[in-house]
Amino acid sequence: MRNTGGTRALFVGAALVATILFAAAPSLAQWRTPWSYKEGPNGPEHWGDIDPDYAACKTGTTQSPIDITHRTKAVLPPLQFAFRSGPVRIVNNGYTAVRVDYEPGNLNTLTIGARRYELTQFHFHHPSEEELDGKRFDMNAHIMLKGDDGKIIGVSVFLKAGRGNAAVAKLWAHMPTVKGPPHDAPGLTVDPGDLLPSSLGYDLYTGSISAPPCNADVVWYVLKTPVEVSRAQIDAFAKLYPHDVRPLQPLNGRVVQESEND
Ligand SMILES: [Zn+2]
């Protein structure tokens, strides 16, 4: 009896550890409960109900994306990007056609004041998730970074039709047409800095991850200057993902700060 009990205790313990490890897996890498951008039982209105881990999607009061209209001018630190060309891993995860994942120690960093953040991934939305004065852009890129303290920040770059973009051209050439696991793109090197405009003035607000589990306390730096991509590049993405966008979320009294510098 004692042995059986011990075995059971061991089994339960192992299951518990497995559960904790699974729960601690990177939230953006996989989702226990499927969700959708489309209206319906798994649509944005129901994200907070379909999995207890997604509760913040419903109860959170500082959610993303938002329409950036009223701003308060402020002296804010400049964004000092140190991005470099390197090999990339690409995934079509069923929610965006292109997400590019980076391992820790990849040396692509953003310094803001005394704080340094490292690139974790970037991905694309069609059309843009954020709005600027009620205007939606053709697309946007969300560049996600993590600080030494584990704090997540996002840099949102609006993309509009114009000249083709070098990084987008390379990535689109390897764009997976169907959902699948992350894969290396042999021979492909991409500089995420090619997704940045020359002018780095920004609007700053505190929001969330804009997809389940909708973690709050993500500080967003929304760059004011859009980057051009070609109409063909926009259309190629939209053919696979016509609308991978969460509806706008209420401000709930949040103040958007606007950097005075460029
Ligand atoms: Zn995003």
Label residue 5 by pLDDT band (50, 70, 90): very low
Give yes or no: residues 26 and 106 share one domain. no
Q: Are residues 73 and 24 in the same domain?
A: no
- How far apart, in whole angstroms, are the C-alpha atoms of residue 63 and residue 1? 52
Domain membership flag for residue 40: no
Same domain for 130 and 14: no
The answer to whether residue 42 sits within a structural domain is no
List phi, psi (to 5°) of 105.
85, 15
From the CA of 210, how far away is ligand 1's center (Å)? 6
Range of the domain at 22: 1-30
Structural domain includes residue 50: no
Residue 26: predicted pLDDT: 40
- What pTM was estimated for this model as a whole? 0.88
- Co-location of 86 and 182 in the same domain: yes
On whether both 17 and 119 belong to a single domain, the answer is no
pLDDT of residue 25 exceeding 50: no
- 38 within some domain: no
CB under 5 Å of ion ligand 1: residues? 142
Report CA(67)–ligand 1 centroid distance (Å): 15
CATH at 146: 3.10.200.10
Ligand 1 center to 51 CA (angstroms)? 20
Task: Answer yes or no: is 49 within a domain.
Answer: no
Is 51 part of any domain?
A: no
Q: Quote the ligand 1 centre to 159 CA distance (angstroms).
A: 13
Shared-domain flag, residues 105 and 172: yes
- Write the pLDDT tens digit of every residue in 169-184: 999 999 999 999 998 8
The answer for residues whose C-beta is within 8 angstroms of residue 31's C-beta and 6 or more apart is: 212
Residue 127 lies in a domain: yes
Examine residue 239 and state whether it is found in any structural domain, yes or no: yes
Digit-coded pLDDT (tens) for 148-165: 999 999 999 999 999 999
Report how far ligand 1's centroid is from the alpha carbon of 141 (Å): 7
What does the pLDDT look like over 227-251, one tens digit per residue?
999 999 999 999 999 999 999 999 9
Q: Are residues 110 and 3 in the same domain?
A: no
21 and 126 housed in the same domain: no
Alpha carbon of 93 to ligand 1 centroid (Å): 12
167 phi, psi to nearest 5 deg: -65, -40
**Distance, CA 125 to ligand 1 centroid (Å)?**
6
Same domain (yes/no): 172, 232: yes
C-alpha–C-alpha distance, residues 97 and 150, integer Å: 27
Say how many Å lie between the CA of residue 209 and the centre of ligand 1: 7
Expressed in angstroms and rounded, the spacing between residue 224 Cα and the centre of ligand 1 is: 17
Asked if residue 1 has pLDDT above 70, the reply is no
User: How many domains is the chain partitioned into structurally?
Assistant: 2
- Regarding whether 6 and 118 lie in a shared domain, the answer is no
Looking at the fold, whether 110 and 6 belong to one and the same domain comes out as no
Check whether residue 14 and residue 116 sit in a common domain.
no
Average pLDDT over residues 125-135: 97
pLDDT of residue 10: 46
